[in-house]
Each structure stands twice: as structure tokens, then as C-alpha cells.
Amino acid sequence: MADTLAMLARLGVTFERTASVRDQGDLEEVLQDVAVAIGEVLGYRAVVVNVYRPAFDDMLTAAAVGSEESREQLLGTSSPNDTWAPLFAPRFERRGAYFLPDGEFDWDSLGVDTFVPELPESEDPNAWLSGDALFVPLRDGRANVLGVISVDEPETGRRPTDAELDALVTISRHAALAIQIAQNTANDVQHQRMLERVLEVSARLAEAHDVDAVLQAVCDGIEDALGFDKVVIQLAEGRDVPLIAVAATGWPLDGPALKRGTTIEMLSPLFTEEFEIAGCYLLPGEVAAARLGVDEIPYRSELHGHGPHAWARHWLLVPLKDGERWIGLIWVDDPRDRLLPTHARLQALRLFANQAVAAHSASQQAVRLRHEATHDSLTGLPNRRAFDAHVVREIEGGVGFALVLCDMDNLKRLNDTHGHEAGDEALQLLAGALQSQLRRSDEAYRIGGDEFAVILPAANRLDAERVVRRLRDAVAGRLLASGDAIDASFGVSVYEPGDDPERLVVRADDALYQAKRRREQSRLGRSA
């Protein structure tokens, strides 16, 4: 009775520890505790716990009880998963365990090293023999194999009874539960981390003026929350325009893998329905290379695994689209767990991609709004607000500059004769003429109605007069669709120390008025 109570107490401690598994360190301790409990409670001198690794499709010996020689030989070793399948043949199954009697299985056929203890001979017909083996597969709720427990060298020296097998299977179920708890906890932690990082990036979307920082946060979030060591966001102005890396983690932006002149159009054979999962495109590396017709790919994964669940130099690309318009893509590689991403992981990756699109769209909208606030919608030239700000900057700069004011002389006649569309065309032609004759440092503005201005930094009066002659010739060479010419007058003022913006503009406006009078008198003289 005392022995039974001690055994139940020992098992109770083991079962309690199973529920406390939170990470890999906890799991390793619990599995070792399970191995010790099996040895102590059920009386086996040798107990081995093997854990399935989907990234490598193998079994890793994670815990062991036995002689120092056997532990050294077994701990940390692995064997291909397919070598275990023959052990679980129906003919060996007993009450949820698998017992392989000595001489009934060809161990050499597995092609892996096995440890066979040396046991004394016995006349007992039910004695445990050196070649006997006993295994219990560890399965989750869906019957997927999580690992295998094997036992050897029973203290009784006899093969197991049904009751002993039932006890072994019961304890083994708790080892399976510990593994599953550890996996579920890891998944929950990762899921929570994914949500946290997505929310962090969402909070940064308000920083549309710093879109590069938001895109870098997206890369960092994918690396941290989804476990990909290499992440890059590439953008392009069109499908035929080379992609440019704008943010990356694990790759240098100027590295050769990211500077290949690749376009979205060139990659289009990869984006087909058969490889689409949750808005992402996952392809085997050889399939991607074949579809692109290339022998050399820009980068080969370093963190690849083996087996049906493993990352094996796959390509994982996520399109970035603003509506139906492609703006770029996210390319990720080197998953730290060396596994193909789950559907949930790909959904999270798509969420991060959506954040990148939102950041880019917000930034573009902010650029458009800033442009509209400072530019004329008809001519595309900067407006009066931008002109006033530029004049102030030039005055504060303390370097001489010149101002040219321009006024279209025949806008009213064109509007009256051909309609306002002709007037709009004339204003656009005048704006184009002004821009065509300016230096890189000069700037033309539409400051209202048919009034334009040109700021000439570091220019004196002689420089300004030369520019005006070029502008006048350029304007004279522009004709409307109706065949009518456009006509304009110009006035110049040069900055003098002590000038304020108003005084400078007034002098240029006076010069413009005088120029208009001279042109009008000249036309009247010709008419007379």
C-alpha cells in the first residue's frame, strides 16, 4: 500500500509540472522528469524521450535515463522520421504501445545506429531479452506524432504485463500533453506578439510625413513578430519600373541581392492562384527560378530545413497594392524556425503588408495636399503663398536677387473671343514659356489671375534684363490651338538692403505698369 501511495504521489508531481510548461526550458525539464518518473515508478533502467522536429522531419533525443554510456550515445542525436514508421506496424501494437520482441524486427534495415544493452541470459520464457524494444508514440489531439518514448532494461527482467503497459501509456500521454502545451504556449506568445507589433505600426501611421520610418517599422515588426531574419520592402512607380529597396532588416539596402533592376512585370509569373495563401505567394525555390527562366537567383536561404513541413529555399512574396495599382512588394526569407509559415502567420504577414500600403498611401496623400496648398492647379506652378515664402527666404538670406513680374496682356480678349478654355490654354502656355528659360535655381509662380512672378536668386539687374529678353522671346513663340499668339509684359526690381517684400513687389509692379504703357503706346502708334 505504501509503495502504491508513493507511486501515485510521484506521478502527481509529474502531472502538475506538465501543466506548468511555458517555454522550451520548461519542456526540457518536464520531459526529463517524465523519463525519471517512468524509470522510478515503472521500474525501467533505460528511458528515452524523443521529440519530433517538423523543421527537419526527424526525432531528437531530448531526455534520457540510463547508464552514462547510453546517455552520451543518445542525448542530442536525431534520426529521420521515416525510420520510425516500421516500428509502429499493427502487428507490434499492444494497448497503445508497441512491443517488438527480440528477433522479429531487422534493425539493420533502418540504416541508423541503435543502442542494444547487454543483459544476462534467463530461462524464464517471459524474460526481457537484449533485442526486445518497447515504444509509445506521443500524439496530439489530431493524432499527429509529437514524439516517441522508448523504455528498456526492466528491473523485473520480464516483459511488460497489460497493467504495466497501461501505466506506461498513461504517463506517456502526459509527456505528449507537455509537448503540446509548450507548442500552444509558443503559438499564443507569437500570436500576441504579432498583434502587438501590428498595433505598434498602426500607431505610427500618423507619421505619414516620415513614411520611411513607418516602412522600416513594418520590416522590424515582421522580423520580430513573425520570425523572419531577412525582410525587405521594395517600391516602384510602375510595373515596368525597377523596384527600389526602401526599408530592410537583415539585408543591406545597397547589397547586391537587392540591386538587380527587377520589375514587378518581370516577377508576374510568380503571382498565380495556385501559390496564393492569405494574400501572400509562397513558391518552392526551383519553381520560382523555372518560372522566371533564371539559373542564378539573387539569394539562397541559409535557414532551411528538411521534410514536408520545412522551409527549403522557398520564395515568399507579398504584393503591395493601392487599390488595383501595384506599388511594390515585401520579400521575406530565412524563417528562424526553418518551417513553412502557417496560415495564421501568413495572415499576419498580410496585415503587415497592408500597414505598408496604408503608410505609403498616407504619405502620398500628404504630399498631394502639401503640393495643392502651395501650387496652382491649372498651370502646376507654385502659388502666391509659396511665392511670398520664397521672397522672405531670399531677403533673410542676405544675398542679392531679382524679381520679375509678368502679366498677360490679351487674356480678356482671348476669353471673350474663344471662351474660357482658350484663356486657360493661354495661361498654361505662358507658364510653360516662363519655365523653359529659367536656370535651375530660378522659380516661376502664378500669383493670381493672369499675373506671374519669377524669382532669380543671386541675380543683378543686368542678369534680370537678359532673362526677361529670353522670356519675352519664348512667350512670343507660343501659339494657341486657334492660332492666336499670347502676349505679356514684364517688370523687374532688384533687391536693395532694407527692402521688405512689399516694397520689392511694388517696384516690380511699377516697372510692369510702365512696360504695359509703352507696349500700348507702341501698338497705338502702329495703328495710327
Burial of residue 168, with CB atoms counted within 10 A of its CB: 0-12 exposed, 13-18 middle, 19 or more buried = buried
Helix, strand, coil content of the chain in percent (nearest 5):
50, 25, 30
Q: Which residues pair with 61 in a beta bridge?
A: 50
Per-residue pLDDT of the chain (528 residues; tens, 9 = 90+): 344 445 445 555 555 666 666 667 777 888 888 888 889 888 999 999 999 999 999 999 999 998 888 888 888 889 999 999 999 999 999 999 999 999 899 887 877 666 667 777 777 889 999 889 999 999 988 888 999 999 999 999 999 999 999 988 988 888 888 888 877 777 777 777 777 777 777 666 665 567 888 888 889 989 988 999 999 999 998 889 999 999 999 988 776 666 678 899 999 999 999 999 999 999 998 899 899 887 766 677 888 888 889 998 899 999 999 888 899 999 999 999 999 999 988 998 998 898 888 888 877 776 677 777 889 989 999 999 999 999 999 999 888 899 999 999 888 888 888 888 999 999 999 999 999 988 888 999 999 999 999 999 999 999 999 999 999 999 888 888 888 888 899 999 999 998 999 999 999 999 999 988 887 776 655 544
* Distance between CA atoms of residues 300 and 315, nearest Å: 10
* Distance between CA atoms of residues 348 and 226, nearest Å: 8
Domains (range + CATH), the chain: 2-185 (3.30.450.40), 205-371 (3.30.450.40), 384-527 (3.30.70.270)
Query: Of the candidates 268, 216, 267, 281, which has an alpha carbon nearest to the alpha carbon of residue 245?
Result: 216
Judge whether 392 and 504 are in contact, CB under 8 Å.
Answer: no
Residues 6+ away with beta carbon under 8 Å from 434? 381, 406, 444, 452, 454, 471, 474, 475
pTM (2 d.p.): 0.68
What is the separation, in whole angstroms, between the first and last Cα of the chain?
A: 136
Judge whether 198 and 352 are in contact, CB under 8 Å.
Answer: yes
Residues 6+ away with beta carbon under 8 Å from 172? 34, 38, 97, 136, 138, 149
Query: 28 is written with which cell numbers?
Result: 526540457
Query: In the sheet where 228-235 sits, what is the strand order?
Result: 244-249, 228-235, 325-335, 315-322, 280-283, 276-277
Which phi and psi (to 5°) does residue 241 adopt? -95, 135
Query: 222 is written with which cell numbers?
Result: 515582421
Per-residue model confidence as pLDDT tens digits over 375-390: 998 999 999 999 999 9
